[in-house]
Structures are given as C-alpha cells and as structure tokens.
C-alpha cells in the first residue's frame, strides 16, 4: 500500500476546527452552539465590494497578471501611502489570502532546515506553513501574566542560530490580540539588523486597534528597507474572508523577484475576488469607525465578563478581535469538549479554541483557550453565563 509523505504526516491539524465534530453532535442533540472558536466576523462586507461583483461584466473569465491586477496593486499602494507607509505598486504581490503570502514568504526567504523565530502563542497555521516549506519554528515564550508582551531581547538572542533566517510576528496578534508598541518593534529592528535577518510582520488586523493605541508597521521603520516583509489580507479588514485575497509587501527586490516565481507557478489570484477587493479599498472611514466601536464593546463585555468569574484570568487586548483566557481547569481542551458534549445552560453552549494548539511547546497553554469576540453583544453576554455556570459543575474545575 502506498504511504503518505512524512511532511504530510507532520502537518498539524487545526486547533480552531478540532472540536467541530463535537459541535455538530451538540447541534444534532438540539443545543444552540455559540461559535467563539474561529475569527469569522459577523460584520457585513462593505456594500461597495458586494456591488462591484454584482455589476461586473466579464465575457471571458481570464487569468490576471500573476502579481494581481495592476489597478488593485495601485489601489493598495495608495492605501499604504495613506497610512504614511511609502509603498509602490511594484513592491506588492496580490496573493490568494494572507495564507499564500506566508507560504510565498517561507519559500522565498528560507531553505529546508532553516529556522524562523516566533513569539508563542502564535497563529496555529504558521506551524503548517512552516512544515509545508520544510522550515523549523523556534518559539520564544510570551506570558499571559503581562498580556503577551514581546519576550525579552535575551530570549530572541539565545534562540538565534546559524540556521535562523527571520523573526515572524503577528501585529496585532492572533490569538492574543496583543498590539506591539513602537519601542518593542524597535527592539526587533535592532535584533534583525544585528544578525542580518528578515522581520516578517503579519499585519492583517492593522485596522483593529483600541483605546487610542496606534499601530506601527515595520514598513515605516528606518533601516528595515531590505529586511521587512509584510503579510496582509482583505479577509478580516473588510469582513470578506471567503474572497481569499491578500498581499505580500516588501522593498527587498531580490525577495520580491523570488516570490514572483511562486506567484507565476500558481498562475494568478481569483478575478472576481480581486474585483471585490479593489472596490473594498473605497470603503469609507466611517465603516471602520463603526466596526471598531462595535469590537470595543464586544471586547469589554467578553473580557470583563470572563474576569468576573472565579479563577478565570483574561488580559484585555488592544487589537484584533481575539482574547486568550486562563481557566481554573487542568485541561482547557477537555473543558471545551465537555462544554459541547455534556453541558448546556438553558439549551445553549459554546465552542472555543484550546490554546495549547497555538503553542509550539507541548507543555504550554494547557489551561488556556482563545475566544473570538465576533458575535453580537447579547450573544457574548449569554456566553459569559454559560462559562460561569459550567465551571460551577465541571468535574475538572480547580477550586
């Protein structure tokens, strides 16, 4: 019998979708399930993007340029320049979601056996992209006690080896919602310049920052012109996850020329999705103002509610729409399964993502879970009461 590849065997399963069978069984049993496990916003996609698809008249659905529509890249350039980030259209490759941008990055910047340093917990698919590219993830631990702030410089320095090719961050962070300060990014800049590394920034949640906090992009930092790589996406910014359009941005011409080979190999990004994305760039600022106000209210309901429960600790994030909480249980994964399979409160329960799947070190995150506040306020209030009542009867609760 033929066998599958070692690489395929090593590919990690998604911790975000791991409990789906339990949720499906709960729904079959008649329970209402609130989904806090996945970052699928319920915010409406901008009308301008929807109308662009409806009005498109395309007699032949042809390939686009491998780097994406020239008009879309020009629009993206204007978007970045509007944020005081001097990016030209030649420094942008449109990708099939931020996921493909990450795959292109690993393939273009690293050889098999090379290493990338990532603060953990991190977006779980980084593990999958690295495995698919033959790249080894080297984690440095961030702590829930200080809200998952950047680990100390010494932790990065001790993790660097001759195989290290870059440092990867998500800013604001998935799964933590942590927003790196200018000073923290300057520390990373000094490290990558000292060791001649790439600084890869996943900035797909750039638009979602709260409490007056400002997002700083690595694209705007002096000295990083040859070192900075940005992964971006339309998915969360415009609530159009299904469009699967992202982009890769860098001023390093050699890197971008190499990434272009990967873009040519997959031919082109999808046409209709590019049409929608180009139109989405015309979304008025009022849309983001309203969305951010909504997320701030949701965050406060969820985080303050969780912290009102005995034994639960959840730092308040300043970006994205995720929070990681620590629960008074031995295993958050078992607790999450139990919520779906054996518990309900007034016929309702919830699904969350055990945080252990966002760590590289197997001993970390066992008592933690990620929750996405992508539901409306009333649903989130119900979720808090579900957790509160569940912990009172869960047999694994640590008193």
| CATH code for the domain of 161 | 3.40.640.10
User: With 90 as the cut, is the pLDDT of residue 301 above it?
Assistant: yes
Q: What percent of the chain has pLDDT over 90?
A: 95
48-68 pLDDT tens trace: 999 999 999 999 999 999 999
DSSP tag of 12 = P
Judge whether 23 and 342 are in contact, CB under 8 Å.
Answer: no
The predicted model scores a pTM of 0.96
Going by pLDDT thresholds of 50, 70 and 90, the confidence category of residue 11 is confident
Q: What is the pLDDT of residue 13?
A: 80
Given pLDDT bands bounded at 50, 70 and 90, which one contains residue 47?
very high
- Residue 387 is predicted with a pLDDT of 98
Query: 237, 257, 280 — which closes off a domain?
Result: 280
- Alpha carbon 219 to its chain centroid, in Å, reads 18
Same domain, 139 and 67: yes
Q: Quick one: pLDDT at residue 241?
A: 95
Query: Is residue 259 over pLDDT 90?
Result: yes
Asked if residue 109 and residue 34 are part of one domain, the reply reads no
Residues 270 and 293 in one domain: no
User: For residues 207 and 201, what is the distance between their CA atoms, to the nearest angstrom?
Assistant: 14
**What CATH code is carried by the domain that includes residue 384?**
3.90.1150.10
- Indicate whether 11 and 88 sit together in one domain: no
Residue 14 binned pLDDT confidence (cut-offs 50, 70, 90): confident
- Do 324 and 120 form a contact (C-beta atoms < 8 A)? no
User: In terms of domains, do 254 and 141 share one?
Assistant: yes
Residue 216 above 90 pLDDT?
A: yes
Residue 15: per-residue pLDDT: 74
Q: Decide if pLDDT at 10 tops 80.
A: yes
Quote the number of domains for the chain. 2
pLDDT band at 18 (very low <50, low <70, confident <90, very high): confident
Name the pLDDT band for 76 (thresholds 50, 70, 90).
Answer: very high
Confidence of residue 342 (pLDDT cuts 50, 70, 90): very high
Give the Cα separation of 335 and 342 in Å (integer): 10
Q: Is the same domain home to 31 and 53?
A: no
Instruction: Please state the rounded mean pLDDT for residues 144-159.
Output: 98
Q: Which residue has the higher pLDDT, 15 or 357?
A: 357
Given a cut of 80, is residue 16 above it in pLDDT? no
Do residues 222 and 343 both lie within one domain? Answer: no
Length of the chain in terms of residues written: 399
Q: What is the mean pLDDT of residues 308-330?
A: 98
Pair (156, 208) in one structural domain: yes
Grade residue 12 by pLDDT with cuts at 50, 70 and 90.
confident
User: Which strand ranges, in their side-by-side order, compose the sheet holding 136-141?
Assistant: 92-95, 246-250, 228-233, 198-202, 164-170, 115-120, 136-141
Q: What is the dihedral of CA 318, 323, 327, 333, to 10 degrees?
A: -160
What DSSP state is assigned to residue 246? E
Average confidence score pLDDT of the chain: 96
In angstroms, the CA 370 to CA 388 distance is 16
Average pLDDT over residues 201-217: 97
- Give me the pLDDT at residue 225, please: 96
Q: Which of 280, 302, 317 is the last residue of a domain?
A: 280
Q: How far apart are CA 58 and CA 52, in angstroms?
A: 12
Residue 14: give the domain boundaries. 6-44+286-393
Residue 399 domain-assigned (yes or no)? no
Percent pLDDT > 70 in the chain is: 100
Asked if the model's pLDDT at residue 254 lies above 90, the reply is yes
Give the span between the Cα atoms of 43 and 283, in whole angstroms: 14
């Amino acid at each position: 019998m033929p066998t599958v590849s070692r690489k395929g065997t090593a590919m990690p399963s998604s911790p975000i979708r791991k409990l789906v069978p339990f949720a499906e069984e709960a729904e079959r049993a008649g329970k209402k399930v609130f989904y806090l496990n996945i970052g699928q916003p319920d915010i409406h996609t901008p009308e301008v993007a929807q109308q662009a698809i409806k009005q498109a008249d395309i007699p032949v659905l042809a390939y686009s340029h491998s780097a994406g529509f020239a008009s879309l890249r020009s629009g993206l350039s204007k978007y970045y320049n509007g944020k005081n980030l001097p990016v030209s259209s030649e420094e942008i490759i449109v990708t099939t979601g931020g996921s493909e941008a990450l795959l292109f990055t690993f393939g273009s910047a690293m050889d098999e056996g090379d290493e990338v340093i990532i603060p953990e917990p991190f977006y779980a698919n980084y593990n999958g992209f690295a495995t698919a590219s033959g790249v080894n993830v080297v984690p440095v631990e961030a702590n829930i006690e200080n809200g998952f702030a950047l680990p100390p410089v010494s932790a990065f320095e001790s993790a660097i080896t001759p195989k290290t090719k870059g440092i990867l961050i998500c800013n604001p962070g998935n799964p933590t919602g942590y927003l790196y300060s200018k000073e923290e990014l300057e520390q990373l800049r000094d490290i990558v310049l000292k060791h001649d590394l790439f600084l890869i920034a996943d900035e797909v949640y750039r638009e979602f920052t709260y409490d007056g906090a400002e997002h700083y992009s690595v694209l705007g930092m002096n000295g990083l012109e040859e070192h900075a790589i940005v992964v971006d996406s339309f998915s969360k910014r415009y609530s159009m996850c299904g469009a699967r359009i992202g982009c890769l941005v860098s001023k390093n011409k050699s890197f971008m020329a190499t990434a272009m080979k990967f873009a040519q190999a997959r031919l082109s990004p999808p046409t209709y999705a590019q049409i929608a994305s180009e139109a989405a760039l015309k979304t008025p600022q009022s849309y983001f103002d309203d969305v951010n106000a909504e997320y701030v209210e949701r965050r406060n309901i969820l985080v303050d509610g969780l912290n009102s429960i005995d034994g639960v600790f959840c730092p308040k994030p300043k970006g994205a729409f995720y929070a990681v909480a620590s629960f008074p249980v031995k295993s958050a994964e078992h607790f999450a399964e139990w919520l779906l399979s054996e518990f309900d409160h007034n016929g309702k329960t919830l699904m969350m993502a055990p945080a252990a799947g966002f760590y590289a070190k197997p001993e970390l995150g066992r008592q933690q879970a990620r929750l996405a506040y992508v539901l409306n306020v009333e649903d989130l209030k119900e979720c808090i009461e579900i957790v509160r009542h569940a912990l009172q009867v869960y047999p694994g609760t640590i008193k």
